[in-house]
């Protein structure tokens, strides 16, 4: 899991909360928002737990959303181990960093979105393409959902 940020055409900053499955390279969720505090991150993760199997481990950086008391309590309550990467070592979370770069260069940087809803719509379409059509050598040349 990781965050990335960009700006709307009017200069307002927005963030994307990206979650992937390292093993299958599957994009799980991309959530757009002007503010994505730990409470909102937890809400997104609770929604994921309603339709996906609980992960044993979540890996991410030491951002304020991820080290908050609310988040650590949530992880303990769900019996999910947290693996924080070392500060300044994004290479310890390479799959999400690569996904962030792909999202940025394949689309987010190429568009000037006027509204946050447009960002979310684009992110949802990108996620569908990524999971159903984008081919991965590590998945024997198949998209993530075809390799599962």
d(CA 122, CA 39): 24
Quick check: is 99 in a domain?
A: yes
Quick check: is 24 in a domain?
A: yes
End-to-end CA distance of the chain: 20
Residue (of 83, 20, 96) closest to 57 by Cα position: 83
d(CA 119, CA 77): 32
Model pLDDT for residues 103-137, shown as the tens digit of each residue: 888 777 788 999 999 999 999 999 998 888 776 66
Among the residues of 6-68, which ranges form H helices? 38-51, 64-67
Residue 66 pLDDT > 80, yes or no? no
Quick check: is 138 in a domain?
A: yes
Quick check: is 66 in a domain?
A: no
Q: How many CA atoms lie within 13 A of 72 on its CB side?
A: 8
Counted domains in the chain:
1
Query: Which of 29-33, 122-126, 140-144 shows the lowest per-residue confidence on average (mean pLDDT)?
Result: 140-144
Quick check: is 79 in a domain?
A: no
Quick check: is 74 in a domain?
A: no
User: What confidence score (pLDDT) does residue 121 get?
Assistant: 95
Quick check: is 58 in a domain?
A: no
* 56 against 147, higher pLDDT: 56
d(CA 10, CA 22): 35
- Count of helix runs (H) and strand runs (E) in the chain: 6, 5
Quick check: is 63 in a domain?
A: no
Which residues lie below 8 Å from residue 133, measured CB to CB, with a gap of 6+? Answer: 143
Q: Domain containing 128: what range?
A: 2-53+90-147
Cα four-point dihedral sign 142, 148, 23, 101: positive
């Amino acid at each position: 899991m990781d965050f990335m940020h960009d700006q709307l055409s009017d200069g307002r900053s927005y963030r994307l909360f990206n979650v992937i499955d390292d093993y299958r390279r599957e994009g799980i969720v991309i959530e757009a928002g002007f503010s994505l505090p730990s409470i909102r991150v937890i809400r997104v993760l609770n929604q994921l737990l309603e339709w996906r199997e609980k992960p044993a481990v979540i890996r991410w950086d030491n951002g304020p959303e991820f080290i908050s008391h609310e988040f650590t309590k949530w992880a303990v309550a769900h019996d999910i181990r947290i693996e924080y990467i070392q500060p300044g070592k994004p290479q310890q979370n390479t799959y999400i960093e690569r996904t962030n770069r792909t999202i940025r260069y394949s689309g987010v940087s190429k568009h000037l979105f006027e509204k946050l809803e447009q960002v979310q719509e684009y992110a949802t379409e990108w996620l569908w393409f990524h999971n159903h059509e984008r081919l991965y050598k590590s998945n024997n040349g198949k998209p993530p959902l075809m390799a599962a």
